[in-house]
Structure formats: C-alpha cells, structure tokens
Amino acid sequence: MLKKYDLLIIELAANRQQQWFRVRSRKYDRLVGNLREYLKNEINRVVNRIITIYSPAEFVVERLNFQNPNLSRRMNRLLSRFGKGILKKKLSSLSEMYRIKITETNPVYSSQECSVCGYVDKNNRKPQAVFRCKCCDKTIHADVNAARNHAARSSGVGMNIYLTKQLVLGIVVQRFLHKLALLGKHADSDPERLSKRCDSLAEGLLSDNPYFRGYPAQLKGFS
C-alpha cells in the first residue's frame, strides 16, 4: 500500500514540476492526508491487536526513523514525519489508559548484533530479512533477532538512548569479547560450542572485522 501511495505522489509531483507548478496542490494534499490516515489506522490496529493478545505490561520501542530503502526520498520524509508522531501519540495514550510502561532503546547496531553470542558484524544480515551470525552460525528472522537485542538493552545498564554510534559499538564489542573470555575459562562445560566459536574466530573473523580494529590487546589469541 505504501508503494502504491509512493507511486501516486511521485507521478503527481513530477507532472506538476514539468508544468512549472509548485508541487503542493489540493490533490497532493489529499493524497498526503490519505497516507497519514492509512498510517494512523494501521499503527492503531497493530498496537491494539498486541494489547488484546498479549496484555503487555511494557512496550520496548527502538527509536525508529521509519525509512525504507525501497521507497522514494519524498515518501521516506513523509513516513518519518507522520509515523513517529502517530506512534508516539498512540503509545502515550496506552501509558495513560493502561499504565503500560514505555521504554525506548538505542537502535544502533541492534540489527547487526547476534542476540545469542553478541557478535556484531554488518555481514550478519544478508539478505535483509534473515540474520545469520558469522560467529556462532545462529540463523533467525532479522526482526526477531533485533527485537531480542532491544529486550536485552531495555533491562541492561550502560547503553542509554543518547549514546553515539561509536560509544554503542564500543560497548557491544567489549561485551562480546568479555563473553568470549568467559567461554574460554569454562571450556569444559560446553566444549563443542567453544570449538565451533574459536574455529570461526581462528579463520580471521575478528581481524577482518573493522568493528574490532580498535581492540588489539583483547584480540590476542582469537585472530
């Protein structure tokens, strides 16, 4: 449906620009208004269904920008402007009506971090819908993996929504290296898992990953 709206808005904008008219018009505003109503209805429908089925005590929400690479810049601007406002208003009403706790989490690298072992790599997510960890080989739907990361971040400490990308990456990398060190100390408890993990690392996984280049001391014996 968004693609349909996108095509209509692009064609209308292009036709008006070819005629040297300004893009804004009654028809353009009507299309944008219809898009806004569609977004509002869909967001409310989905959130209400979550409430009905799960009766959650808390919503963990990442700071989304609502952008989609398959849509035009104009549509992404509209989605970003409308979507965030509609969702924020809906969540605020839920908090007031049902006392549901709303927790925002930092989205940086959440789609690239493995929710099982913590390894972060941009190559973990190929194709877009599938997450496959280059380290532990965990394969899962990318959205489910990211959701689990956000659930963990919401209950953890040290990673608030205001941290920069660089600081978040540092935290994610150091947590993974810490897990790796602990795994090495307790090799006898899970030798098969340790062997698989270290075999993967021995092939140069960490040394080839630019995210880990600032941590040479920790990488000794693992690359």
The domains of the chain are located at: 2-105, 122-219
Is residue 75 a contact partner of residue 64, using CB atoms and an 8 Å limit? no
The predicted pLDDT at position 169 comes to 93
The predicted pLDDT at position 78 comes to 86
DSSP H helices, the chain, are: 2-18, 26-54, 73-98, 142-155, 165-185, 191-202, 216-219
Q: Indicate the residue type of 136.
A: C
Is residue 82 a contact partner of residue 35, using CB atoms and an 8 Å limit? yes
The predicted pLDDT at position 179 comes to 82
Question: Is the per-residue pLDDT at 217 higher than 50?
Answer: no
Question: Is the per-residue pLDDT at 198 higher than 60?
Answer: no
The predicted pLDDT at position 186 comes to 56
**Could you read off the pLDDT of 67-93 as tens digits, one per residue?**
788 889 888 888 888 888 899 999 999
This prediction's pTM: 0.74
Q: Which of 51-65, 100-114, 168-182, 186-200 is the least confident region? A: 186-200
- Residue 116, Cα to own-chain centre: how many angstroms? 16
Give the model's confidence band at 190: pLDDT under 50 very low, under 70 low, under 90 confident, else very high: low
The predicted pLDDT at position 33 comes to 94
Q: Which of 97-106, 133-142, 149-158 is the least confident region? A: 149-158
How far apart CA 192 and CA 184 sit, in angstroms, is 12
The predicted pLDDT at position 133 comes to 93
How far apart CA 97 and CA 51 sit, in angstroms, is 12
Question: Is the per-residue pLDDT at 220 higher than 50?
Answer: no
Choice between 185 and 210, residue whose per-residue pLDDT is larger = 210
Choice between 51 and 62, residue whose per-residue pLDDT is larger = 51
The predicted pLDDT at position 10 comes to 92
Question: Is the per-residue pLDDT at 213 higher than 90?
Answer: no
Across all residues in the chain, what is the average pLDDT?
85
